Structure 1
Amino acid sequence: MSKISVIIPVYNVEKYLDKCISSVLKQNMTDFEIIICDDASTDGSLKIVENYKKKDSRIKSITHKENQGLSVSRNDGMEIASGEYIFFLDSDDYIKQNVLTTLYQKIKNVDADVLYFGYEEHGVGNQDNIKRYRHKSIYPNVENGPDFFCGAVSEGNMCVTSWSAIYKNQFLKENNIKFKPHIIHEDNLFYYEVLMKANSVTSVDDFCYEYIRRNNSLSLSQRIYHEKIGSLCFIIAEIINFNKNNKHECKYYTNEYVSNLNRQLITYYKELNYFSWNKLPFTEDEELILRLATGAFYNGFFTYKLPDNVISEIKKYKDIIIYGAGKVGVGLKELLSEYDIHIRAFVQTNLKDTEKKNVSGIPLKSIDEIMNDDGGVLLIASKNYSVQMIEIAKQMKFKNIIDVSKYI
């Protein structure tokens, strides 16, 4: 058994991999193993790994025939790890000199399940603008995991990244702690599960890890936003279910933790054009979480917004009228304003003289007051009466009608 197993997941990182592996091999500790899992790279990463294996017998490798994601790569590495402790290292980052010896001695001295440490973040090739993140140092004191979690949340000092800690291998195996496959933000769930199950946790403020922040255009794609939203809904649901059995104090701080995740969820939701249910089928719990998180938007009716093709169809018309001046109609107006789509009027079936003549600053009229032509479109905005409203619109010879009630 070696002292530490360093697990490095690899996917198309040939530019950075040499520096990553070298930073481990240059450590003054010699009793370690490096487990590299290549996740079906299409660049020269695998060749670099094979060259290093020839030079150093401490390097083991796993090769995936198909890309399976970061979580699976880490789990596969953990499965064959023989080290007393586990250290995760992302393949485009590196570690400072002699940190393995320092961390091993400290976690061994206090016999902790987990030891957290600080890290430095900087951009590619930018050593001048370094941000430093650290845990409040409690070493050589040790706390149980839930107490450490509560303290971290209360101080706003949560370093959830899995690579900002060293873990006792036996602790992870006995508690069957693994990364959830095929999700984004997997570290958020791993961090929570580790601390809820750990009997002994300590931390130091040493800066041991160099995190390189890289711009990734994929993070702006609609597909990635879908995956991030789906992942966060899953993670929140998992944490809520786990939290049912927590002590009162930990319940409170878990709720705070979930609130932070919820804010991330809302940020991604704002960037999303339309959430396709078919792309990410939810459980009932996950759907409820998305509805609760987005309930303050668009009067709580357009949880999934409107599909791109519907927005494109509405934009074809110069004269846009919303049939339905209630909460659904107001929510629709709010949603369309984000696309710079302006509403000429709200209409309803029977407008009494005593009723107000505008809604949210938009004129409100009776539907029989509206003259319609090929350049106008009537948007049906009702949760319960859309069928009747469509029939009325057809009787009144409206040529262009779009029913948005199916997206509520």
Structure 2
Amino acid sequence: MIPKISVIIPVYNAENFLTRCLNSVLAQTLSDIEIICIDDYSEDNSFKILENFSVKDKRFKIFKNDENLGQGLTRNRGLDLATGEYIAFVDSDDWIESNMYEVVYNQAITNNYDLVYCGLIYDFSDGKSATPELPSINPELPTIQFLLNEAIAPSLKLFSPNSPCDKIYKRQFIEDLNLRFESERIFLYEDKFFNINFLVANPTYTFIPEIFYHYVVRHGSTMTSHRKNFLKRYFVMDEKLKTILFEGNYLNNELQWRFRRSLFEITFSFCLNALVYNRSIKGKISEFLAILKDDRVSSNIKYFSLKDIPVSASKMNSIVKSICFLILKYLC
């Protein structure tokens, strides 16, 4: 018998959060699900936790990668293994409300939707939470063009269509597109690539504003660590997305401007990555010089002014951003 939903959970060094995540999936009021958990070569007790859950409930199907593949390729392995009518993704440090899948699945089968997405909430490490701002015009069903615009450069606070975790996807639609995730090691924001490809194919879809997914924000990991090949991975993504959107007749003037704003805002992340988070003096210099020499970065920044620079949490980062802006705009 085909399960109604295949829930795919990639796991990597998540022992401190994994039990809460798995319990929330186990508690779903929709019982006809399969839970595919793939350990991405963890170095902690994550796989042992998965083994304990697989003994507790036969709906858990656990696997272990022979090497660390990253989240995108691990999700792909889950897609290859899935047999459900719909696909869902959960990150191993997040959790979901107990009726999430019952509500979204019932909505999906009512009109045979290819995609149903729901409300999510951001849970921060200081105990505070925040919900995304929804569009004021027809929040129940934003257009595909609106979702694509927001996917490239959001205009609404915390609103982004890029996460796959607040959605269920019809598996047959994914298979007909032969759609899979890119590796985040060569392609920045693999979630964005997956969802934009899905949207450009013009799925039938609906939105449920009720909050079911808890996205846990943990500060201090990727936000303050050095990212390898950051600039290169961004432009691999940028070029592919522009091609996809152009071929789908979605690359209008507004979306072109969103690409400009996206590059402008991430330029300061490039600079901080090079000058602050790179531990090597030689690495700082060579990485920053690469940014200065990239005409795509320096030509784009000339469309913006100092007031457009994204706000920083620290005074030091604000100073670094301002200096980098002036260098890129007036000296390159």
Once the two structures are superposed, what CA deviation does each residue of 1:214-254 show, in whole Å capped at 9, x if it has no partner?
A: 013443233x1x4433222111010122233233x643343
- Cα deviation for residue 55 of structure 1 reads 1.4
Superposed, 1:9-28 pairs within 5 Å as 9-28=10-29
2:216 aligned partner: 212
1:106 aligned partner: 107
Contact 2:15 2:45 in 1 (8 A): yes
Q: Distance in 2 between matches of 1:98 and 1:259?
A: 40
Give the letter for the 1:149 counterpart.
L
Q: Distance in 1 between matches of 2:48 and 2:233?
A: 32
**Greater RCO structure (CA 8 Å; 6+ sep):** 2
2:132 aligned partner: 133
Q: Distance in 1 between matches of 2:14 and 2:86?
A: 25
Q: Of residues 246, 253, 261 in structure 1, which corresponds to 2:248? A: 246
Contact 2:5 2:87 in 1 (8 A): yes
1:76 aligned partner: 77
Q: CA RMSD in A?
A: 3.3
Contact 1:185 1:228 in 2 (8 A): no
- Cα deviation for residue 110 of structure 1 reads 1.9
5+ residue gaps, structure 1 = 281-286, 299-333, 339-359, 361-380, 382-407
Question: Do the aligned partners of residues 256 and 60 (structure 1) sit closer, same or farther apart at CA in structure 2, a change above 3 Å counting?
Answer: farther
Q: Distance in 1 between matches of 2:31 and 2:59?
A: 9
5+ residue gaps, structure 2 = 276-283, 303-322
Q: Which has the larger radius of gyration?
A: 1
Q: Distance in 2 between matches of 1:17 and 1:236?
A: 33
Contact 2:230 2:270 in 1 (8 A): no
Contact 2:5 2:33 in 1 (8 A): yes
1:234 aligned partner: 236
Superposed, 1:5-404 pairs within 5 Å as 5-124=6-125, 126=127, 129-133=128-132, 136=135, 145-146=144-145, 148-149=147-148, 156=156, 157-181=159-183, 182=185, 183-222=187-226, 224=227, 226-247=228-249, 250-271=251-272, 272-273=274-275, 274=284, 290-295=294-299
Question: Do the aligned partners of residues 50 and 275 (structure 1) sit closer, same or farther apart at CA in structure 2, a change above 3 Å counting?
Answer: farther
Q: Distance in 2 between matches of 1:133 and 1:100?
A: 21
Q: Distance in 2 between matches of 1:134 and 1:92?
A: 23
- TM-score (normalised: structure 1): 0.64
Question: Do the aligned partners of residues 154 and 180 (structure 1) sit closer, same or farther apart at CA in structure 2, a change above 3 Å counting?
Answer: closer
Question: Do the aligned partners of residues 166 and 33 (structure 1) sit closer, same or farther apart at CA in structure 2, a change above 3 Å counting?
Answer: same
Q: Match of 1:178, SS? A: coil
Give the letter for the 1:170 counterpart.
Q
Contact 1:114 1:167 in 2 (8 A): yes
Identity over the aligned pairs, expressed in percent?
26
Give the letter for the 2:175 counterpart.
K
- TM-score (normalised: structure 2): 0.77
Once the two structures are superposed, what CA deviation does each residue of 1:57-84 show, in whole Å capped at 9, x if it has no partner?
A: 1111221121110001111001111111
